[in-house]
């Protein structure tokens, strides 16, 4: 714990002292950072048609703007977190947000698909670094017994962006145009920079003498179990979520898809608030419960995906199981990695983005066999996650 408290002479000790209460203003600034990151990633999906029409490209090409972002995160998360490990945390966090100011502004102004695709990769690289910072940053702002709740507050920006931010931005884009939505994201990022500088404390980077190689972090007891459970759990989610439209079509809910997604989003919000209040005391039980809820949802959706009520009930159970998962995995990683949380979180970023891309590819292959094949494929993946968490009782998911 010493390396989380001691500071360099150039840092203000008042800013780096652990506190016994939750510093909400600073943690909410981290949550806003997550909100901006997720919304920047998903905006092309919500604004797909106007982007394709304006740039004179196909919808498939417009969809690659999301893929480019994920590739940037995947490629940059580990190397950037290692290279910047000795850097002071707040300036580094502000640089990642500044990158969103620039990349979203270029996206709003450029008429070239190639330029926009390139800056999307750069935005994804900034996101990869930010994801490796946030959980460890939140954990360092409070005493050990409050780590889980601090991480939960910092991560609340993720479900808020998916359940509220994306639908609102898509709706706004119909009136002001997709370019102005990206411009507003750039302006919001400037405001966020001021907020971070004002309310988020600074922390020193890791001392060079205590650096661990990525391989050593991966070999920490429990780390492999966390990554395997994360990958299988999130892969199961993305197989279903990426192709949710064709999946709900047999129930007749395709015209009401936004309502199904809203039900899922609200359930996810309930989950993350509940998980946040209990994670410091019941990490293992909550993780097992989340997987079981998701398995129950997948089973219901497999058997009755052509019934409206079953789809809504499945969406509720799915949201309750999935919503708090980011907090649970981030907290497990923070407790397992200790002082090496930033590098460990970069490994979870890689696993998360692999599961996103893998869900798109695997789901695309399965959909030809019918919508039920998606939920059927999710069940064995969730079983692997369940067994992995169950066996990781000494390390990883205590």
**Which value, in Å, is the radius of gyration of the alpha carbons in the chain?**
20
pTM of structure: 0.74
Q: Does the structure show a pLDDT above 70 at 12?
A: no
Residue range 167-214, pLDDT digits in tens: 778 778 888 999 999 999 999 999 999 999 999 999 887 665 445 566
As beta bridge partners, residue 142 has 19
Q: What percent of the chain stands above pLDDT 90?
A: 34
Rounded alpha-carbon distances, angstroms, from residue 286 to 243, 275, 290, 291: 27, 7, 6, 9
- How far does Cα 120 stand from its chain's mean position? 17
Largest CA distance in the chain: 64
| Integer Cα distance of 79 and 71 in angstroms | 14
- How far does Cα 131 stand from its chain's mean position? 7
Residue range 364-392, pLDDT digits in tens: 778 788 888 888 999 999 999 999 999 88
Within 10 A of 174 (CB to CB), how many other CB atoms are there? 11
CA-based nearest residue to 7, from 82, 84, 83, 89:
89
Write down how long the chain is: 398
Domains of the chain by start residue, with CATH: 21-205 (1.20.1250.20), 214-391 (1.20.1250.20)
Q: Could you write out the DSSP letters of every residue in 28-77? A: HHHHHHHHHHHHHHHHHHHTHHHHHHHHT--HHHHHHHHHHHHHHHHHHH
Residue range 313-351, pLDDT digits in tens: 999 999 999 988 888 888 888 777 766 666 777 788 788
């Amino acid at each position: 714990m010493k390396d989380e408290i001691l500071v360099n002479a150039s840092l203000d000790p008042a800013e780096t002292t652990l506190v016994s209460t939750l510093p909400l203003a600073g943690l909410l600034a981290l949550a806003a950072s997550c909100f901006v990151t997720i919304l920047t990633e998903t905006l092309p999906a919500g604004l797909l048609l106007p982007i394709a029409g304006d740039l004179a490209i196909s919808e498939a090409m417009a969809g690659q703007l999301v893929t480019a972002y994920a590739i940037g995160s995947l490629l940059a998360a580990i190397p950037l977190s290692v290279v910047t490990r000795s850097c002071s945390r707040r300036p580094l966090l502000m640089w990642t947000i500044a990158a969103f100011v620039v990349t979203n502004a270029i996206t709003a102004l450029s008429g070239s698909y190639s330029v926009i695709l390139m800056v999307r990769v750069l935005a994804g690289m900034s996101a990869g670094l930010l994801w490796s910072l946030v959980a460890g940053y939140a954990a360092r702002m409070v005493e050990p017994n409050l780590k889980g709740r601090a991480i939960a507050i910092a991560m609340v920006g993720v479900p808020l962006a998916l359940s509220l931010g994306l639908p609102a931005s898509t709706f706004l884009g119909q009136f002001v145009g997709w370019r102005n939505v990206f411009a507003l994201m750039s302006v919001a990022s400037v405001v966020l920079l001021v907020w971070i500088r004002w309310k988020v404390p600074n922390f020193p980077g890791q001392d060079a003498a205590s650096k661990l190689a990525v391989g050593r972090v991966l070999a920490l007891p429990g780390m492999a179990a966390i990554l395997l459970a994360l990958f299988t759990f999130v892969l199961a989610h993305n197989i279903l979520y990426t192709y949710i439209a064709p999946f709900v079509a047999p129930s007749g809910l395709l015209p009401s898809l936004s309502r199904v997604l809203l039900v899922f989003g609200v359930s996810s919000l309930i989950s993350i608030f509940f998980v946040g209040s209990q994670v410091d005391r019941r990490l293992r039980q909550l993780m097992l419960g989340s997987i079981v809820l998701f398995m129950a949802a997948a089973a219901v959706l497999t058997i009755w995906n052509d019934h409206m009520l079953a789809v809504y009930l499945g969406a509720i159970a799915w949201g309750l199981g999935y919503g708090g998962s980011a907090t649970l995995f981030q907290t497990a990683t923070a407790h397992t990695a200790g002082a090496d949380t930033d590098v460990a979180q970069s490994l979870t970023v890689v696993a998360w983005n692999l599961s996103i891309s893998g869900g798109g590819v695997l789901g695309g292959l399965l959909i030809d066999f019918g919508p039920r094949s998606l939920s059927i494929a999710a069940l064995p993946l969730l079983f692997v996650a369940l067994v992995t968490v169950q066996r990781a009782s000494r390390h990883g998911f205590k």
